[in-house]
């Protein structure tokens, strides 16, 4: 897994980093906690520029947040929750998740968009209440970009700093990354199998 992801980023470059981060925010195929450290590692080897990696990762993260922002802004709370109810078995966002995100937004205001981008559990969801509340595009992009830049910067820096420990990193990160991906797939399949109609939690 370690070699596969690093080689993929080496071949696809900044576009690959951008695409993976955008997809991670829409429907997480690989979490950002793996994407950006690997990208930082590739940059440390000299295959990519670390600033380019940071910008590509941030841009991808913000781009991936936009569909959820527009979903909230265009469809509105009731229609979006109805859509979540209808497709709850297959979606990673449920009716209850939307309600929780709205509660956080109403409690903490617009600053939660910036802070939410730093928290893995709500990085994607926080875009929904921003759209529902008709937060201006300029403000949404500003706060999302700042939060995403901080988050991707931390992860990229971690991968960049560990380049000198290549053998040790590969030894530990490879099984961990495989475990994370298997865990995510297992959680999703369990969720699909055990889903009960009418469950909004």
Q: How many beta carbons lie within 10 A of that of residue 88, not counting itself?
A: 23
Residue from 179, 161, 174 nearest 7 by CA: 174
Kindly state the tokens that stand for 135. Answer: 């937060």
User: Do the beta carbons of residue 94 and residue 200 sit within 8 Å?
Assistant: yes
pLDDT in tens, the chain (201 residues): 667 777 888 889 999 999 999 988 876 666 777 788 888 888 988 889 999 999 999 999 999 989 989 888 888 777 777 776 666 556 556 667 777 777 777 777 777 788 878 776 677 777 888 888 888 899 999 999 999 999 999 989 888 887 766 556 556 555 665 666 676 567 657 666 666 654 444
By the 8 A CB rule, do 104 and 129 touch? yes
Angle (deg, nearest 10), helices 2-26 and 50-86: 50
Helical residues (DSSP H) of the chain, grouped into ranges: 2-26, 32-44, 50-86, 95-108, 111-116, 127-132, 137-161, 166-194
Q: What is the reported pLDDT for 89? A: 56
Contact 161, 130 (CB under 8 A): no
- Quote the pLDDT of residue 196: 61
């Amino acid at each position: 897994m370690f070699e596969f992801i690093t080689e993929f980023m080496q071949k696809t470059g900044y576009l690959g980093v951008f695409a993976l981060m955008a997809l991670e925010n829409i429907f997480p195929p690989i979490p950002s906690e793996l994407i950006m450290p690997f990208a930082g590692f590739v940059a440390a080897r000299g295959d990519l520029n670390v600033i380019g990696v940071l910008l590509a990762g941030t841009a991808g993260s913000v781009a991936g947040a936009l569909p959820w922002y527009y979903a909230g802004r265009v469809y509105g709370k009731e229609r979006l929750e109805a859509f979540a109810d209808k497709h709850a078995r297959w979606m990673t966002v449920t009716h209850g998740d939307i309600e929780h995100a709205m509660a956080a937004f109403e409690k903490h205001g617009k600053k939660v968009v910036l802070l939410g981008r730093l928290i893995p559990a709500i990085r994607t969801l926080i875009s929904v209440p921003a759209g529902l509340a008709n937060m201006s595009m300029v403000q949404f992009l500003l706060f999302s970009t700042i939060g995403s830049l901080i988050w991707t910067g931390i992860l990229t820096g971690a991968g960049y700093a560990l380049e000198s420990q290549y053998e040790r990193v590969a030894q530990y990160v490879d099984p961990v990354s495989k475990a994370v991906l298997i865990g995510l797939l297992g959680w999703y399949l369990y969720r699909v199998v055990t889903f009960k109609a009418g469950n909004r939690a």
